[in-house]
Chain A
Amino acid sequence: MNKLKLNYTSLSFLPILVCIPLGYQLINNIHFGGFKLFQEFLISAFNPKINNEIIFTVIKRLNETILIGFFSWLVSIIFGAIFGIISSNIFYKIFNIPNFFYRIIRFFLTIIRSIHEVVWGILLMQIYGINFSIGIIAICIPYIAVNSKVFAEQLETIDYKSFESINQINAPKFSSLLTLIWNPIINTFKNFGLYRFECSIRSTVILGLFGIGGIGTSIFLSFQTLNFRELWTYLWSLAILIILSGLIFKKIKFNTTNKILSIFFISVFFITILFSFSYFLYFIFNNNFENFNSASSLFKSSSDLGLFDFLKLILETIILSLLSTGIAISLPPLVIGIFNNNTSKIFIKFFAFLLRLIPTPVILLTLLTFNSPSVSLAALTLGLHNAGITSKLLFTNLDSQDKRNYIAMKSLGISKKTSWLLGLFSQQAKSYLAYCAYRSDIIIRETAIVGVIGSVGLGWQLQESLSSFAWQEVTLVLIAYSSIAIVGELINGKIKNSLT
């Protein structure tokens, strides 16, 4: 018997096997009472509520969302670039600083990054209460760390010989640094930074579901009151905002040789830094920290969480991550491969857009109308949402790919599906898997969101512990959560390196 050989193409489909245990549990947990609600939810998508009152609310809520999203994006991109510079090896080479500091900063940023903005948001809300700036801070903390990683990675691609050449001119160190990093920073901002605005808006919406304000709060309130028509008005307005922002950013051309524009950007850069620092000082001195006193009992409060239960939660979180990742990897190529015609493509793209648009807590709450809370349901939610994201990338790559192999195979009489699989997808499989490895880092962090809503894993425990001010438990959960994310990031990093 021939030995089974796995290649990148088969590896892209294999994870769909997670659907077997997942489907089994979902079928067992089904309850038909909520189907009517689910049906109502779907029908409302085509009949959103439109009147003066709701339009006024939409405008007000979108304004809040844009403000939180914009400021958190601006601050996180600027500080992300700064931290990216000081966590890149080029900085240490130019200033002859021992690598020890480099490792400390990187480790610190990895920890910050490992905790999702929703967790930061819930924590900060518990300590300082709900206010507008908490939303910005909660998004900024992990985003700065995420952005800094991307900036640092780009700076590390600087040709070492260029560094030696500039270094040999013996220019002042800051001049050398600036000359070397200028273009990589600008290019990273153009290619990655602008896309982060959309992420910032999405995070604002999710934080809104937890009460921070903006359109997310309205979405959550309309869901709670089962006012699905109103809910879809908010969702469609959010879709318009995301599409518009994408179009605007696509049109923006950053001409670094335009003097006035350059001076404007530099002014924004410094004003943001100054404003952030002054706000930080204001925040420190103006907060009476009454609520924060409860955090001082961090090490005094006892934990009722048993070791077995704690390990079970960790295991649940890991299983949740693996199942969701499996769906996010395999579902897009499977669906695109099976329904491989132009009409289906439009439907798949539209459905994928909806999966990206609807915040995961809303997807989960919708599915909860006819299914009991379980790891499988949370995994399905997270998997579907991320499949929406991975399918966007897959479509983009497939559309821009050379189709000669595909045409040649079809001309040989090979079926359309097989030609697609071998002539098109097989050439994308490796880079697709590499992106999925990166995506799974995010999925691990996102387990917290579905955990809180879907009563599974460490996310749920975090919510429980915070509600009862059990700070020791909160610390334990955060350490465990962060450790899983860091280990996941290390494993995915190895996978990514082997694929690129």
Chain B
Amino acid sequence: MNNTVLELENISYKYKNDLILNKINLKINSGEKIALLGKSGSGKTTLISILNGTIKPTQGEVKLFNESFEELDRKQKSKITTIWQDLRLIEDLSAEQNVNCGLLAENNFYFAFKNLLNISSFKKAHKYMKLCRLHNSIYDKKIRKLSGGQKQRVAIARSLIQESNILLADEPFNNLDPKLITTIKNLLLENVDKNKIKKSPKTALVALHRLDLLNDFDKVIGMRDGKIFFNLKRNNLKKIHLEKIY
């Protein structure tokens, strides 16, 4: 049985005259936890942006659940959630309003309206913010007043509240202290008490720089100069592989 959830077929992406991604082929199966490694500028962020449909590839096709991404409706596309490297939170909204933005896909216009007027329920948002170890004193604070680590966790909570099947994360552990990294890693990779959280993403592709965090991943993909240099099971990863990409 084919359990591929995301698939890239011969993907290339050109920006102006630079070839950012060069003929990428990739299959991500349901439940896989994949670490994406590579130097800055190797194409990791572009790959994530193509996987979530934010940018269209110059060449090739993206498939989600074996269907072309272009042909999917809004509900199907919302099965992917992304944690961006630059967070992309709305600075003028409060932390809880930003987390509630993750619920926009499953709610109607009235919910968006209530969220902006601060009259919607923040119960679910608070639950996820608590899981991300955010203190309740910052719930109603504007994003621009938060520290880097707090902003990072708000972005993670916004992503988790979507309860999507697939998580794409671009360096989600930036700005976090070591203790928090473990908590957040467990949250993102589903190793969490089922009573505390309803559902966390089952499939994850996480771009990383820190090699000491690889333990909980099933597979490791290495990128360099817009190409996939290796795609291996974590146990098969050797020093020589890492030397190729760094």
Provided the pairs A172-B74, A257-B118 are in contact, do residues A167 and B104 lie with their beta carbons within 8 angstroms? no
Q: Are A174 and B109 in contact (CB under 8 A)?
A: yes
Determine if A256 is an interface residue (Cβ-Cβ < 8 Å).
yes
Determine if B117 is an interface residue (Cβ-Cβ < 8 Å).
yes
Proximity bits, B133-175, A CB within 8 Å = 1, else 0: 0000000100000000000000000000010000000000000
Determine if A183 is an interface residue (Cβ-Cβ < 8 Å).
yes
Chain B positions 15-64 with a Cβ under 8 Å from a chain A Cβ = 52-54
Q: Are A259 and B90 in contact (CB under 8 A)?
A: no
Q: Could you say which residues of chain A place their CB within 8 Å of the CB of B84?
A: 161, 165
Q: Are A175 and B104 in contact (CB under 8 A)?
A: yes
Proximity bits, A222-239, B CB within 8 Å = 1, else 0: 000000000000000000
A352 to B216, CA, bound (A): 71
Determine if B203 is an interface residue (Cβ-Cβ < 8 Å).
no
Shortest distance in angstroms between A312's beta carbon and chain B's nearest beta carbon?
51
Most chain B Cβ neighbours within 10 Å, of A161, A166, A169 = A169
Q: Are B117 and A171 in contact (CB under 8 A)?
A: no
Proximity bits, A160-199, B CB within 8 Å = 1, else 0: 0110111111111011101110111001000000000000
Write the chain B residue with the least CB distance to A160: B88
Give the number of residues in B that approach A within 8 Å (Cβ atoms).
Answer: 35
Determine if B200 is an interface residue (Cβ-Cβ < 8 Å).
no
Determine if A262 is an interface residue (Cβ-Cβ < 8 Å).
yes
Shortest distance in angstroms between A270's beta carbon and chain B's nearest beta carbon?
12
Provided the pairs A179-B90, A183-B92 are in contact, do residues A169 and B101 lie with their beta carbons within 8 angstroms? yes
A-B contact count (CB 8 A): 90
Proximity bits, A458-489, B CB within 8 Å = 1, else 0: 00000000000000000000000000000000
Q: Could you say which residues of chain B place their CB within 8 Å of the CB of A175?
A: 104, 107-109, 111-112
Q: Are A183 and B108 in contact (CB under 8 A)?
A: no
Give the number of residues in A that approach B within 8 Å (Cβ atoms).
Answer: 27
Q: Could you say which residues of chain A place their CB within 8 Å of the CB of B80?
A: 168
A161 to B102, CA, bound (A): 16
Write the chain A residue with the least CB distance to B100: A179
Shortest distance in angstroms between B53's beta carbon and chain A's nearest beta carbon?
7
Q: Are A172 and B88 in contact (CB under 8 A)?
A: no
Question: Which of B88, B92, B111 has a CB less than 8 Å from the CB of A164?
Answer: B88
Q: Could you say which residues of chain A place their CB within 8 Å of the CB of B109?
A: 172, 174-175, 178
Determine if B67 is an interface residue (Cβ-Cβ < 8 Å).
no
Known contacts A164-B54, A176-B104; 13 further A-B pairs (Cβ under 8 A): A161-B84, A162-B91, A166-B104, A168-B52, A169-B101, A171-B101, A172-B112, A174-B112, A178-B113, A183-B93, A256-B116, A257-B118, A257-B140
Binding site for B on A (CB under 8 A): 159, 161-162, 164-172, 174-176, 178-180, 182-184, 187, 256-257, 259, 262-263
